[in-house]
Structure 1
Amino acid sequence: MRNLHPYLGLGFLAGLGLTLVLLGPQLAGLAPSLYALANQPYTWLAEPINTLRLGLGIPLLSAFLLGLLGALAPCQLSTNAAAISWFAQDALQAQGSAWRRVGWFLLGKALVYLFLAGIAVWVFGGTFTAPGALFTGVRRVLGPLMVVMGFLLLGLIRLPGPSLGLGQLGAWAQARGGSLGAFTLGVAFGLAFCPTMFFLFFGVMLPMAVASRVGLIFPALFALGTAVPVLLILALLDRGKPKGEVLSGMRRSGRRLNLAGGVVLVLAGLYDTLMYWFV
């Protein structure tokens, strides 16, 4: 029966995709309401954070606070949840082990933001008028990809090659270029734009960067702000317990970690799929 699990998982994944296709008209009506619900954290905190940013009047700090506000946008909520699931295993295995990969993840995001800002300034005259097909296309790929990653972590499907359980995934990535994998993840999630994020980056942050002599730093500070939830949760995981106690607890609850990480990725992927295939 155990050998049938990968086939059952593939069947369930195919059935899920077929359900999404068949229920497209109904989901098209549900998706905008779901987006509005996911946008509530941004709606609640946008005014106080923006008031703080304007009151301080420090452009570099404003870039960071805009990124922090962007972390509450629906597109960043889902990708940050996936990033936390990705890095949590390192944080629990050994104190400080996740931070090098998180640094590469942040570098990937920052370079994407810098690249997009450069395109906007030098090619489009300072701003984009609309997100365009690029960002929508990236999000349409990211959603199903996160669902597949979640199924891999849950052990419901297997691909040829190394075992991709949550614990084995971290070891395999580290042995074969974990930093490169984290950097690639940062690049992919850096392209995760939605209307809220688009407005904050191109409509508010970019004009500030253009007007500043140190404008090249703004995208990096914006990227750091968007990753604050990831950094906070990983810091709690990293410092919450002594290493030995954590490892002992992991041996007793490894399956729960697999389940939690996989469920987070599947839910984040389903949310993105609904948003960018049916809105």
Structure 2
Amino acid sequence: MTEFTIAALSALWLGVLTSISPCPLATNIAAISYIGGRVGSTRRMMIAGLLYTLGRVVAYMTLAFVLVNTMLSVPQVSMFLQKYMHMLVGPLLVLVAMFLLGLIQVNLGGGGVSEGLKKRVDAMGVWGSLLLGIVFALAFCPTSAALFFGNVVASIGAGSTFLLPLLYGIGTALPVILFAALIAAGSQKLGQTFGAVSKVEWWARTFTGTVMLMVGLYMTARYIFLA
């Protein structure tokens, strides 16, 4: 398996993990339920869910693309990264891992959906779901921010300005589509599914954080202290 293949699978996995982290997961379900209460049919609910998902994918992919492309296209930044990227990746992975493992906790407070946004979403009808997806994707929680910037670091390291951000965005979409389908079908197992996903998320986040921490410590030791 090539390094780029590993990076691509990692981007997809980080996207899935972002979407099932507690804060984004609760936000996604609340948003889709809100949308579902304002559309009249299962078919329109599925369309609204897909548009909401598309909004999140576009937001994540665009932001990652801009960040990665900007860093790689500015000559001074690009030369700095080419020279020192191998030294930066280790500490950055350690930092991301510490967020995932709960060793660093940041309370950003919380703001709900403003009345202005609600009115705009309602006025746009089913297309308001697209706007809601974009807005909620950019309202980062600490864990989702750590995962997102972890993917940005991987994209810069791989020199990928499009594919890895795209795969990350697709990863964030997969769980949302599942919950949209459950809500559209009026599934009685939504609560059970939410509980199961929450338990899986803890193990997945702990495993990913532990692996990141070990790799980050190894790379830090190898390229900084033992160089």
Look up the SS of the partner of 1:193 in the other structure: coil
| Paired residues, number | 158
| Structure 2 residue 14 is the aligned partner of structure 1 residue 66 | yes
| Structure 2 residue 135 is the aligned partner of structure 1 residue 207 | no
Quick one: higher RCO (CA 8 Å, sep 6+), 1 or 2? Answer: 2
Look up the SS of the partner of 1:144 in the other structure: coil
Q: Which runs of no fewer than 5 residues in structure 2 stay unpaired?
A: 82-87, 96-105, 188-227
Identity of aligned residues (%): 31
Equivalent residue for 2:27? 79
Look up the SS of the partner of 2:178 in the other structure: helix
Counterparts of 1:83-162 in structure 2, within 5 Å, are: 83-89=31-37, 93-117=40-64, 118-119=66-67, 121-122=69-70, 125=77, 143-145=111-113
Aligned Cα RMSD in Å? 4.4
Which amino acid in structure 1 is aligned with residue 48 of structure 2? R
Q: 1:178 aligns with which of 111, 115, 125?
A: 125
Q: Which runs of no fewer than 5 residues in structure 1 stay unpaired?
A: 1-53, 131-135, 153-160, 162-168, 242-279
Bigger-Rg structure (1/2): 1
Distance 2:132 2:44 in 1: 17
| Structure 2 residue 167 is the aligned partner of structure 1 residue 221 | yes
Distance 2:182 2:112 in 1: 29
Which amino acid in structure 1 is aligned with residue 181 of structure 2? A
How does the TM-score come out when normalised to structure 2? 0.51
- Deviation per residue, 1:40-96 (Å, 9 max, x gap): xxxxxxxxxxxxxx9xx54433322111111233331331132231233478x5333
How does the TM-score come out when normalised to structure 1? 0.43
CA contact (8 A) 2:53 2:177 kept: no
**Structure 1 segments (4+ residues) deviating >3 Å:** 57-61, 87-91, 123-127, 210-215, 237-241
- Deviation per residue, 1:188-208 (Å, 9 max, x gap): 1111212222221112x1233
Equivalent residue for 1:252? none
